[in-house]
Structure 1
Amino acid sequence: MAVLSRLIQAPAAVRIGPGVATELPAILADQRISGSGKLAIAISEGSGLTLRERLSADLPADAGWFTVSRASLDSAVDLADRIRAAGTAFDTLVAIGGGKVIDAAKYAAARLGMPLVAVATNLAHDGICSPVATLENDAGTGSYGVPSPIGVVIDLDLVREAPVRYVRAGIGEALSNISALADWELSHRETGEPVDGLAAAMARTAAEAVLRHPGTVADEHFLAVLADALVLSGQAMTVAGTSRPGSGACHEINHAINQLYPKLAAQHGEQCGVGAVFATHLRGDRDRAAEMAETLTRHELPVTPGDLGLGIDQFVEAVTFAPHTRPGRFTILEHLDLSRGEIHDAVKDYVATYAR
């Protein structure tokens, strides 16, 4: 008998809008996510303490509050250990904060066998709803497969209070889907790697919505579209069972920059945005690259290595090293297999084309 449909894992609840963080208890109850109402809540050590003061009145009085110091494997394991040691029969872990808190909580929830509800306070990346936790480890940074959040809440009032750079970074993350999908299709043609059409459609829709929207991060409607796009991107990875819909040469370059220049102050989404435009330029799709670069420029995001704080030789080093960050992944970088000299020429051409 032919298989006529497939089951797709998706969050039981997704709520995006101003002030929705205060609706969290009702969301958990309505969707039957937390049967007992006993919540373990993870927050950051800094701004998370302020969030606790603001939100505690709207959350159960017997909730357990746990701080997260950093997005590292050790910190995530420690969070799980502290929740277990509390001796309370928590039935849901709620992560309130940015990507560092959410990623650490994702891993901790998986370790504890608990559902996770992600309450995002910025829009810096698509990990809000993805089945991946990106955590620092002894070797640098690793990506760990985890269950996707069972609930996603994005409070646009809290997002507006975040540093604007953390919001703009999500634009670069969303746009990088365009390059990632081109890499996935390239791999399909060259290596036979299968492409999940539904996941690709979701990721492409997310990127195009952000690319085409005329608004800015000061516009609530644009923030809602960006939030939708990041949730849809994360869900695309869940559908595909891989990060392929949103991760190609763009993210290889990002990982390389992180490993080679760990003190660089650029955001993940900023680096991915530059990596995506460069990879698209390298692919020969100059019109598409120019369109992406124009969008990044309009939103005051980096476009060239210099905008990130990198010299040409440093970026060449990152592009040269990039394929080593994801062994087995096939992108335009692996396909062209350029020498260091050829990469240097390509980067110089890119900078000459897009420097402001």
Structure 2
Amino acid sequence: MPLLTRSVQTPLSIDVRRGAVAGLASLLADRRISAGGDVAVVVGPGQGQRIVDMIGPTLQRAEFINIEGGTLESALDLGQRLRGRNYDAIVGIGGGKTIDTTKYAATRAGIPMVSVATTLANDGIASPVASLDHDGARPSYGVHIPLAVVVDLDFVESGPDRSTRAGIAETLSNISAIADWELAHQTRGEPVDGLAVAMARSGAEAVINHPGDISDDGFVTLLAEALITSGLAMAICGTSRPSSGGCHEISHALDILYPGTAGHGEQCGVGALFCTYLRASLDKVHEARFAQISACLKRHGLPRTPADLGLTDEQFVDAVEFAPRTRPDRYTILEHLDLSRDELGERVADYADAVH
């Protein structure tokens, strides 16, 4: 009988710990990414410069590039600049906008990329997706996954607590996204990748059941690993399905209709909780899930209702009604129920009561 297997592309190195950034030059050499340090180091605002000051003496042949990322235009500009010299690799240092900008630019230039994350706000740390603002929206673009991933807990701790908490909500939203994927399989026969599901769900389950908070190194390490495996789950199946469902459709709709409402992860957390509430109306099994996700969001001080996001119920109805248009090819609980605006208004009002 033949042995059937599949090859899975993953980073050469994943380093999550305190003091990890100090070993960046050694990582590049030891993993044969760049023996001589001929790399471009792309630095975002915030803590990026602090890292440059730390690693500069050990990467004397590197070129340091400061950017204000997050848009398709900035990524295209960076990609053009990277073509001006032969680099062994590109190192992106910063938050989600910097990492996504660097991933996109490195992919366009055909150069390997190393991700050095200073925040844990989303799963873009190691994902094959870059979300970049363009023409009033934030579409997602396919990119190569990073060749190596570094998360230094010292820098995460120094960053905004709100960003780390947003990463918790982003991770929890995997539970809702997977439920949407399974619904699409049951209703429309859409294939589900079991390995991708296992990776995305295990991280979310670990976070939802961990008793610690963002002051606990053990919890923050677990959160970082969950965000990394969430990104790798997408790479394994070639789709964002294991980490993006109705929850992300709602977040994308908010970005379009009411930009600046909240962070991506925070919006996804509320979207995931609302979608789970909708599922509970069809299957009582999801009632326990709703209570579990709600309790976890509350424990970590995260938004749960439209009001927590600074929105009226009417504005949230606008977003939920618009949400399916952000991913026309994606089937979720929102497309499945296909509620009228009046029905959505009733569900949103009942949802707010259920949360409290």
Tell me whether the two structures share a fold, i.e. TM-score over 0.5.
yes
Contact 1:181 1:244 in 2 (8 A): yes
Q: Counterparts of 2:107 and 2:52 in 1: how far apart (Å)?
A: 24
Match of 1:24 in 2: 24
Match of 2:81 in 1: 82
Which residue, out of 253, 274, 278, partners 1:278? Answer: 274
Match of 1:209 in 2: 206
Give the drift of 1:279: 0.2
Answer yes or no: is 1:187 the counterpart of 2:184: yes
Distance 1:150-1:65 versus aligned 2 partners, 3 A rule: same
Match of 2:5 in 1: 5
AA matched with 2:287:
R
Q: Counterparts of 2:45 and 2:157 in 1: how far apart (Å)?
A: 20
- For structure 1, which segment, 334-343 or 25-34, has the greater mean C-alpha deviation from structure 2 after superposition? 25-34
Q: Counterparts of 2:2 and 2:320 in 1: how far apart (Å)?
A: 45
Give the drift of 1:47: 3.7
Match of 1:44 in 2: 44
The root-mean-square deviation of aligned C-alpha atoms, in Å, is 1.2
Match of 1:33 in 2: 33
Q: Counterparts of 1:205 and 1:50 in 2: how far apart (Å)?
A: 34
Question: What do the CA deviations read for 1:103-153 (whole angstroms, capped 9, x no partner)?
Answer: 000000001100000000010000001000000112511100001001000
Which residue, out of 254, 277, 283, partners 1:257? Answer: 254
Q: Counterparts of 2:7 and 2:47 in 1: how far apart (Å)?
A: 38
Give the drift of 1:306: 0.7
Match of 1:328 in 2: 329
AA matched with 2:182:
E
Match of 1:242 in 2: 239
In structure 2, stretches of 5+ residues that fail to align are 281-285
In structure 1, stretches of 5+ residues that fail to align are none
Give the drift of 1:45: 3.8
1:137 counterpart SS class:
coil
Q: Counterparts of 1:119 and 1:3 in 2: how far apart (Å)?
A: 37
Matches within 5 A, 1:57-68: 57=57, 59-68=58-67
AA matched with 1:279:
C
Contact 1:68 1:104 in 2 (8 A): no
* Matched residue count: 351
Q: Counterparts of 1:260 and 1:296 in 2: how far apart (Å)?
A: 24
Give the drift of 1:36: 3.9
Q: Counterparts of 1:273 and 1:96 in 2: how far apart (Å)?
A: 26
AA matched with 1:315:
F
Contact 2:22 2:54 in 1 (8 A): no
Contact 2:47 2:118 in 1 (8 A): no
Runs of 4+ in 1 over 3 A off after TM superposition: none
Matches within 5 A, 1:87-102: 88-102=85-99
- For structure 1, which segment, 205-214 or 63-72, has the greater mean C-alpha deviation from structure 2 after superposition? 63-72
Give the drift of 1:35: 4.1
Match of 2:283 in 1: none
Give the drift of 1:2: 4.5
Q: Counterparts of 1:214 and 1:112 in 2: how far apart (Å)?
A: 43
Answer yes or no: is 1:174 the counterpart of 2:171: yes
Q: Counterparts of 1:146 and 1:270 in 2: how far apart (Å)?
A: 24
Matches within 5 A, 1:139-154: 139-154=136-151
1:136 counterpart SS class:
coil
Tell me the percent identity. Answer: 52
Give the drift of 1:25: 1.1
Q: Counterparts of 2:185 and 2:45 in 1: how far apart (Å)?
A: 44
